[in-house]
Structure formats: structure tokens, C-alpha cells
Amino acid sequence: MTGAAPLPLIEAVDLTRAFGGLVAVNKVSLAVHTGEIVGLIGPNGAGKTTMFNMLAGSLAPSAGTIAFEGRDVTRAPAHERARLGIARTFQITSVFPMLTTRDNIRTATYRTRGAGWLASTFRTAAWRRDEAAIDAVADEVLAFCDLAAQADIRADALSYGEQRRLEVAIALAAAPRLLLLDEPAAGLNPEEGQRLVGIIRKVRDRGVTVLLVEHHMRVVMGVCDRIVVLDHGARIAEGTPQEVAGNADVVRVYLGREQAHA
Amino acid sequence: MIRKALPFAAALVLALLPLGTQSTYLHHVMVLWMLYALLALSLNVIIGYLGELSFGHAAFFGLGAYASAILTMQTGVPVWLALIAAGLVAGLFGFVIGYVSLRIVGPQFAILTLGFGSIIYTVTNYWDDLTRGPMGINNIPPVTVPGVGPLGEARDYYFVVVACVLAFAYACHALMRSRTGRAFLAVRENAPLAASLGIDVFRTKLLGFVAATVVAGIAGGLYAHYLRVITPELMSLQYMAALIIMVVVGGRGTVVGPILGALIYVVLLEVLRAFGPLRLIVFAALLTGSVIFVPHGLVSLWRPWRRRADPAIRPEPAP
């Protein structure tokens, strides 16, 4: 990499994680630049989820460093990374089940907006302004993620596809710089999957950079600018979707297998 | 319109309740109701908003009662100052106990609070020099209101305690409309997701826990200066369980629920007085029945109320 290259939004260097004797991720380096949609793919057990969790802060690396906008966050807990502007979704659908869709999104504005308890007790002007701003954010994000009709329904009563969209909505309401998506299309039917891909594509227009861990090849190929391929905890390829699809190693470890199944 | 006026009307009725009767006995029952309501509302912050079960809450009530009683009797500080000190002492214990236990969640946390509560109860019971042990402390000075003098009648105490209850109930209501309150519910609903939104789960829990223990301590102080006699029994397991019954039967996560739960508890306690310890069986049956048939508490039976009130009250999924 040349010295003139712009500072990556997030950069992992030689990230390693061992579980006992098993090295799930072995010296993987990865950089995502502002405005990109990057996909992280690999067959089952390749270390995608381990890598994702280290970037999101829910798993501590055994070795290596992570920098966000040039600032070391290797040891920062999840909530501190979130405060810097990293939002994430979860592989297993994760919402606030007993709250309505709208309240889920309102809650997610925690990082940037909202007056504290004293302000709400005395109903100060700042509090009223903030609540109105939060309502506006909620309305905008609800529309953005096609959830306006479900606004007042409790999250646990939403359909699976709606819940997955709500996850993205929650992450977006946090106004992140970087959005980490953990298998967002998992378990979705093709139609719902396409709807989600449409939303992810629009996310970039909001100035949000996306790193996507995915198993569905169609999703990754359709939406990503650049793809990083992992196998057995190591990085085996990187490039545009076309380059990766044409890479012999990738075809061997991954695509070939998928095509064989399809 | 009606929905907006209803809370004010209810607060007004509650504030003027003792004017409806001349019976000092009923006034006494009303004071107990309000004291328990204050305590149940504080426990509701932990159970209803943070979603953690605490069996140790009566210990903080007792700490407040003892701190206030001992302070006024041994140092002669005015009662109002001692009440603040009662809140601070209980809050300090809450901070230490919360700091140690709140990293642990679920049943283990509940058992830890039970352990800490039992330790405080036992120490109070045996530290004769300070607490006079199982004999308890009597002749505690009454609450003195500046310009009015010492309060003598139950009715006067009612107005003091109801003011505390209404203020704290409003504070809880306001909390649920603030960023802090939303963080509380986020932690209850899904802690990893809350953390991913920038919420420090541990600090949020500690904040709620300490606030709840401060209020419990103040309630304990008020209790001590009202009854003017306290014994370690007010920290016993029986009270810890009673508090949980009030919150769960009334409706956790709501402001009205714990106040209603406290009313049911106090009324049953009086109505069933003749049955002695058998009353406990009734309370246990009440808790069991409530958990099975009205898991969100009695307030959940009133549908119009929960449609659009606190976000903490769980709205029904639309058909």
C-alpha cells in the first residue's frame, strides 16, 4: 500500500483468534474505506463470524490490532466502538422484542440524541426538541426500511423478514459511520432477500460504509464493491466480485461447492 | 383528553384521600400503603425497568430506617437531614453491592442479592451496640416539618409520604420518556443489542440499582420516624418476598402497578390479620395465581391504559 492511500475507515492488521488449540482466524488483515460496501465470505468454519465479532467488539482478538479512523480500538468494548460510530447486526435476529417497532428505533438513537432524565422530568425545551428530533429519525428510518406500516406493532409480532429489516433499521438509527452486517439475508426467502439487498444498496447513499459477512453468494455478488474471501481462518483472495468469482482458489474452496449443491 | 386528565385526577384523589374519613386506623393503613408503594416503586426500577430480580431490597429499606433512627437519636441531627442521609447510606450500600453483583445476570444475581440482604439482616440483628439487636430501636423522634412542628397524626404523615410517592411516580414516568429510561429498557430487552448501540450495560444497571436503593432508604427513614419503633424484622425474608409480590401482582414496568400492588398487600394484611402467619399462604397463592393468569400484573387488565402509556408497558401485538 502506498503512503498516499487515504486512511481506511476500519483497518484490521494480522488479526488472530484461537479457541484453545483451534486457530479460527489466523493473521487476517482487512481494510474498509469510507463509502465502500465490502463483503467477507467463505465456506462454513472459515472464520467469518469470529472475524466479525472481533471487529464489532464482542470477541477479544488473541493477537493483531484493529483501528477505526486511525484510532486503536483493539481492546475497546462493544459499547465504546458503538459510540465511535460502528453499528452492527447479529447473526441470530436481535431486536427489543417487547417494544414496538417505532420504540425499537427510538431506543437506537441513544448514541446521538436524547435528553437525560432531569430534562424529561422538567420537560425542558431541549427535551421536547430532542424527542421531536427522535420521532423524525424514527419516521425516516421506518420509511427507509419499509417498516412504516409496522410502526406500532410489537417487534416480537413481526414476521421474520420484517424483523431482519428492523435490525438494519435499528443499526441505521444509531447514525453509524460503519455498518457491520452479520449474514443479513440468512433464512430469508429470495423475495425478502432482494428487498434487503435493495436497502443495503441504499444505505451507502446515506454516507454509511458497509462490511457484510454473508453466505448467500447472490447477495454478495449483487451488492459488494469488493470481496474478501476467507478459508480455514486465512485470507485466500480479495477483489471485485468478478475477480473473486474467477479466482481458481475461490472456485475450488467455495463457489465450486456451492454450485455443486445448487 | 380524558387520557391526559386521568393521571392528574388520580393523583389528586390520592393526595386528598385521608380527608374522606375521620378514622385514625384507616389513616394509619393509608400511610403504610404509601410507604410500601414508595418501596415497591423503587423495586420496580430494578424488576420492571432493568429486568433483574432482587431479593435484597428490604435490606436497603432497613438500612435507611436504621441509619435515620440512629443518626437522629445519637447525633441529634434534624429528621429531614437524617432522611437524606438514610437515602445516601442505602445508596452507598447499593453501589457497593451493585458493583459486585451486577456483572452477573439472571437467577445468580437474584441469589447474590438474597445473600447480601441476609448478611445485612444478620449484622443488624447481632450488632447490639449499634442497633440494639432483636429488641429494635424505639422512641425514634417524629418527622418535624419546619414551621409546623413535629407531626403527630397518621394523617399528617400521609401527606408527607404521598408527596414522596407522587414525586417518585412522576420521576419514573418521566424517566421512561428520556434517553436514560430507554437505555434501561434496552438493557432489559436485549443487553448485547443495547451495547451495540453505545449503551454501557453495566453502568446503566448500576445507575438504576443505586437510584432504587436510595429511594428504598428514604422510604425506610420515613417508616422509622412514622412508626417510631423498628426491629430487624423489617429486613427479613418475609418482607423481601412481600415487596416482590407487590411489584409482580400490581404490574412490573408500570407506575400504577406497584402502587396498586402495595394497596392489595396492605389491605390483605389487615383483612387477614386474624389468621396470623397463615396470611403468608394467601400471599404465596396470590403471587402464583398472578404469575399464571395475569403475568403482566393487574394493571394489564385495564386495556385502554396500556395501549398508549409508558413504553415500558408492553402493548399487545396488533391483530
Per-residue pLDDT 10s for chain A (262 aa) are 445 567 889 999 999 999 988 889 989 999 999 999 999 988 888 888 899 999 999 899 999 999 999 899 999 999 999 999 999 999 888 999 999 999 999 999 998 877 778 888 888 888 888 889 999 999 999 999 989 999 999 999 999 989 999 999 999 999 999 999 998 888 888 888 888 888 888 888 888 999 999 877 777 888 899 999 888 888 888 888 888 888 888 878 765 555 544 4
CATH architecture of A10-261: 3-Layer(aba) Sandwich (3.40)
Tell me what pLDDT residue A261 has.
46
Is B303 a residue whose pLDDT tops 70? no
Is some CB atom of chain B closer than 8 A to the CB atom of A128? no
Grid coordinates in use for B312? 415500558
Bigger pLDDT: B94 vs B131: B94
Q: How many CA atoms lie within 13 A of B212 on its CB side?
A: 31
Measured between CB atoms, does A52 come within 8 Å of chain B?
A: no
Task: Indicate whether B10 pLDDT > 90.
Answer: no
Nearest to B196 among A88, A115, A130 (CB): A88
pLDDT at position B314 over 70: no
Chain A residue numbers with beta carbons less than 8 Å from the beta carbon of B186 are: 96, 107, 110
B107 against B165, higher pLDDT? B165
pLDDT at site B316: 45
Chain B partners within 8 Å of A123 (Cβ)? 174
Name every chain B residue with its beta carbon within 8 A of the beta carbon of A98.
189, 314
> According to the model, what pLDDT value does residue A5 have?
64
Q: Phi, psi (5° rounding) for residue B254? A: -125, 165
Cβ contact (<8 Å) for A154 and B183?
Answer: no
Beta carbons of A120 and B181 less than 8 Å apart: yes
Structural domain boundaries of chain A? Answer: 10-261
Q: Where are the domains of chain B?
A: 2-236
B179 and A116 in contact by Cβ < 8 A?
Answer: yes
Q: A246 to chain B, minimum CA–CA distance in Å?
A: 36
Q: Is A174 on the interface with B (CB under 8 A)?
A: yes
Q: What is the pLDDT of residues B33-70, one digit of tens each?
A: 999 999 999 999 999 999 998 888 999 999 999 999 99
Mean pLDDT of B65-78: 90
Beta bridge partners of B137: B230
| Chain mean pLDDT for chain B | 86
* pLDDT at residue A256 in the model: 58
Torsion angle of C-alpha atoms A160, A162, A164, A165, degrees rounded to 10: 170
CA distance B85 to A143: 51
Q: What are phi and psi of A133, to 5 degrees?
A: -65, -40
Q: What 3 state SS string does chain B have?
A: CHHHHHHHHHHHHHHHHHHHCCCHHHHHHHHHHHHHHHHHHHHHHHHHHCCCCCCCHHHHHHHHHHHHHHHHHHHCCCHHHHHHHHHHHHHHHHHHHHHHHCCCCCHHHHHHHHHHHHHHHHHHHHCHHHHCHHHCEECCCCCEECCCEECCCHHHHHHHHHHHHHHHHHHHHHHCCCHHHHHHHHHHHCHHHHHHCCCCHHHHHHHHHHHHHHHHHHHHHHHHHHHCEECHHHHCHHHHHHHHHHHHHHCCCCCHHHHHHHHHHHHHHHHCHHHHHHHHHHHHHHHHHHHHHCCCCHHHHCHHHHHCCCCCCCCCCCC
Give the least confident one: A151-155, A226-230, B147-151, B205-209: B147-151
Give residue B304's pLDDT.
Answer: 52
Q: Which amino acid is at B236?
A: S
Q: Which three-class secondary structure state does DSSP give residue A201?
A: helix
CB-CB neighbors (< 8 A) of A100 in chain B: 311, 315
Q: Cβ separation of A153 and B180 shorter than 8 Å? A: no
Minimum distance, in Å, between the CA of residue A81 and any CA atom of chain B? 7
pLDDT of the residue at B1? 59
pLDDT at B301: 81
Which residue, among B184, B187, B193, would best test binding to A if mutated, counting the most A CBs under 10 Å from its CB? B193
Provide CB contacts within 8 A for B265, sequence distance 6+: B36, B242, B245, B246, B249, B283
Sheet strands side by side (includes A63-68): A22-32, A10-19, A63-68, A71-72
ipTM of this complex prediction, to 2 decimal places: 0.88
